Amino acid sequence: MPRTTVGIIGAGPAGLLLSHLLHQQGIDNVVLELRSRDYVERRQRAGILEQDTVDVLRESGAGERMDRHGLEHHGIELRFDRRSHRIDFPSLTGGRSVMVYAQTEVVKDLIARRQQDGGTVLFEAEALSVDGIETDRPSIRYRHEGAEHTLDCEIVVACDGFHGIGRRSVPDDLLTVTERTYPFSWLGILADVPPSCEELIYAHHERGFALHSMRSPEVSRLYLQVAPDDSTDNWPDERIWDELETRFAVDGDWTLRRGPITEKSITPMRSFVAEPMRHGRLFLAGDAAHIVPPTGAKGLNLAVADVTLLAQALTRYHAHRDESLLDAYSENALRRVWRAEHFSYTMTTLLHSDPADSDFDRALRLSHLRYVARSEAASASLAENYVGFKEN
**What's the confidence (pLDDT) of residue 125?**
97
Q: Which CATH superfamily is domain 181-269+355-387 in?
A: D-Amino Acid Oxidase, subunit A, domain 2 (3.30.9.10)
Closest C-alpha to 362, from 205, 239, 173: 205
Q: Pick the catalytic residue: 205, 290, 294, 317?
A: 294
- Measure the CA–CA gap between 348 and 93, rounded to whole angstroms: 22
Q: Pick the catalytic residue: 20, 23, 73, 204?
A: 73
- Measure the CA–CA gap between 147 and 168, rounded to whole angstroms: 23
- Measure the CA–CA gap between 56 and 33, rounded to whole angstroms: 23
3-class secondary-structure state, position 390: coil
Q: What pTM was computed for the model?
A: 0.94
Backbone torsion region of residue 321, taken as left when φ is above 0, otherwise alpha when ψ lies between -120 and 50, otherwise beta? left
**What's the confidence (pLDDT) of residue 1?**
53
String of DSSP letters for 328-386? HHHHHHHHHHHHHHHHHHHHHHHHS--TT--HHHHHHHHHHHHHHHH-HHHHHHHHHHH
Q: Pick the catalytic residue: 205, 298, 318, 352?
A: 298
- Measure the CA–CA gap between 193 and 261, rounded to whole angstroms: 9
CATH class of 6-73+99-178+270-347: alpha beta
**What's the confidence (pLDDT) of residue 207?**
95
Torsion of Cα atoms, 365 then 368 then 372 then 377, to 10°: -150
- Measure the CA–CA gap between 245 and 233, rounded to whole angstroms: 20
- Measure the CA–CA gap between 100 and 213, rounded to whole angstroms: 9
pLDDT < 50 stretches in the chain: none
Domain boundaries, the chain: 6-73+99-178+270-347, 181-269+355-387
Asked if 342 is an active-site residue, the reply is no
Neighbours of 288 (CB within 10 A): 29
Asked if 386 is an active-site residue, the reply is yes
Asked if 298 is an active-site residue, the reply is yes
Q: Pick the catalytic residue: 101, 142, 182, 202?
A: 202
Asked if 264 is an active-site residue, the reply is no
Neighbours of 181 (CB within 10 A): 10
